[in-house]
Amino acid sequence: MGSDGPLRVAILWMQLAGYTSACFRALAAEGVDIHLVYAEAASNAPYDVTRMASGFAGHHWGDAPDEARIEREMESFSPDAILVCSWNVGAYRRVARSMRGRTLRVLCMDNAWMATPKQWAGVLVSPFVIRPAYDIAFLPGERQAAFARRLGFSDDQILWGLYTCDHDEFSAPSVDASPVNSTPNSQARFVFVGRLVESKGADVLAQAYVRYRGLVSDPWPLLVCGVGPLAAAMQGVPGVELRGFVQPADLPLVFHQAACLVLPSTWEPWGVVVHEATTAGLAVVCTAACGAASRLVLDGYNGAVVKAGDHEGLARAMADISDADPDSLRTMRARSEELARQFTPQRWARYLVRGIERHRDALALPRP
C-alpha cells in the first residue's frame, strides 16, 4: 500500500478486451487505485471498450497517444507502478523512461522468442531503448521468458501469468445443473473464435473442416465467430455457421453451445481464447504455435496439439474428438476445467500486488 492510501497503478494499454477488463476490475477489488489509458478498438476486433473501461479514471486515444497529456496525468496520479503494454508505443516507452527511480515500471509483453531479424534487432537496442524504460517484465509463459532474458531481464525480474480470462463469466455450469458435460446433440459442435486472417489459420481451418466431414459419418457443425478478409473461405462450406464478431459478454453462451474449440493459428503468442474455452469446459484442438498450449492443452489429455499449417492433421484431430465416446469426452472436458483453474483474475490481481510491493522494496523506490 502507498504511504498515504491505497496502492496506485497506472495502466498504459493498447486495445482492451474482456479478459483485460476482468483483470483490471479484480485489481480494483483488491483496493488498488487505477488510472487507465488505452487505445480505441480496432476495426477487426470492435470490442465495446466504453463498457470495458467504465468506472476507471483515465482516457482513450485514437491515432496516437497524447504524450504530454499522459505525462501530466502521471505527475498528478503519482503511481506506485506503471503497467505498460509492450514497448512498441513510443509515447508509452518515453513516459516510462521519464519516471525511472520514481515508480516501478512493468513491461507487459507476450512476444514469444522466434529468433527473427526484428527480434535480434530488439536484443541489440535493448540496453539503450528497452531496459532503461522498464524495471521488470510481466509475461504469459516460458516462450516469452526466452525473449525477455535476451532483452536483459533476469529471472528475478520476471513476473508470470500475464494473461487470464474472465473466469466467473466463462465457467462451465455445474454437472448437476446442466447437461453440458454429457455433450447432448445441441452442443456437439466445434467452435472457432478469432480474426479471420492467415495468422489465425482461417484458411487452414476451412480446408481441414471440409476434409473432416469426409472422415466421419456424423460430422459436428462448426461455429465461426469472427470477421476478417478470409471470411470468404468459410462461406458456403457445408456445416459452417458464420456468427460474425461476438462481443466478450456474449461469448460464454457460444462456448456453452459447443464441445470443442479449434484454434489452428500459425502464430499465436498466447491465445486467451484457449483459456476461455477450457474454463467453459471445452476440449481443445490447437496448433503447437499457440503459446497457451504449453499450460492449458495437453495432447491426448484434454484435446490435441497439431502442427501449424497441417490441415490433414487438424482434420484427423477433429475426427478423434467427435468420434470419442461420451465418457472420454466428458473426461477431457473436466480436465480442461481443472487446467483452467491455474489462472483467474483474482489470482492475477493478488499476485501482481505482491509482485509490485516486492520489487518496489527491492529497488528502494520512494512511496508517492
Return the domain boundaries, the chain.
Answer: 8-164+344-363, 167-340
pLDDT band with cut points at 50, 70 and 90 for residue 175: very low
What average pLDDT does range 7-27 have in this prediction? 92
What average pLDDT does range 337-349 have in this prediction? 93
From 23-32, 39-48, 105-114, 236-245, the region with the lowest mean pLDDT: 39-48
Q: Please name the residues in contact with 183: beta carbons below 8 A apart, sequence gap of 6 or more.
A: 259, 326, 329, 330, 333
What average pLDDT does range 105-124 have in this prediction? 95
pTM for this entry: 0.85
Is residue 259 within 8 Å of 329, Cβ to Cβ? yes
What average pLDDT does range 28-38 have in this prediction? 96
Q: What percent of the chain has pLDDT over 90?
A: 81
CA torsion angle 151 152 156 158 (round to 10): -20
Count the helix, strand and coil residues of the chain and give each as a percent rounded to the nearest 5.
45, 20, 35
Give the separation between CA 257 and CA 276, rounded to whole angstroms: 14
Domain 8-164+344-363 sits in CATH 1.25.10.10:
no
Residue ranges of alpha helices (H) inside 152-219 are: 167-170, 202-215
pLDDT for the residue 5: 80
pLDDT for the residue 113: 92
Phi and psi for 11 in degrees, rounded to 5?
-125, 115
pLDDT for the residue 173: 62
DSSP, residue by residue, 51-100: HHHTT-EEEEESSS--HHHHHHHHHHH--SEEEEE-S--HHHHHHHHHTT
Whether residue 180 has pLDDT greater than 60: no
| Domains 8-164+344-363 and 167-340 alike in fold | yes
Placement of cell 541489440 in the chain: 124
Is residue 35 within 8 Å of 59, Cβ to Cβ? no
**Residue 252, strand partner residues:** none
Give the separation between CA 325 and CA 179, rounded to whole angstroms: 16
pLDDT for the residue 115: 94
- 292-301: pLDDT as tens digits: 998 999 999 9
Q: Is 210 exposed, middle or buried (0-12, 13-18, 19+ CB in 10 A)?
A: middle
Whether residue 347 has pLDDT greater than 70: yes
pLDDT for the residue 184: 52
- 238-280: pLDDT as tens digits: 999 999 999 888 899 999 999 999 999 999 999 999 999 999 9
- 190-200: pLDDT as tens digits: 999 999 999 99
Average pLDDT of the residues of the chain:
91
Inter-residue long-range contacts of 69-73, CB under 8 Å, 24+ positions, other chains counted:
70/12, 70/37, 70/95, 71/95, 71/98, 73/10, 73/35, 73/37
Residue 145 backbone class (left: φ over 0; alpha: ψ -120 to 50; beta: rest): alpha
- 42-94: pLDDT as tens digits: 665 666 677 777 889 999 999 999 999 999 999 999 999 999 998 999 999 99
Q: What percent of the chain has pLDDT over 70?
A: 93
Say which CATH superfamily domain 167-340 falls into. Answer: Glycogen Phosphorylase B; (3.40.50.2000)
What average pLDDT does range 116-142 have in this prediction? 96
What average pLDDT does range 350-364 have in this prediction? 96
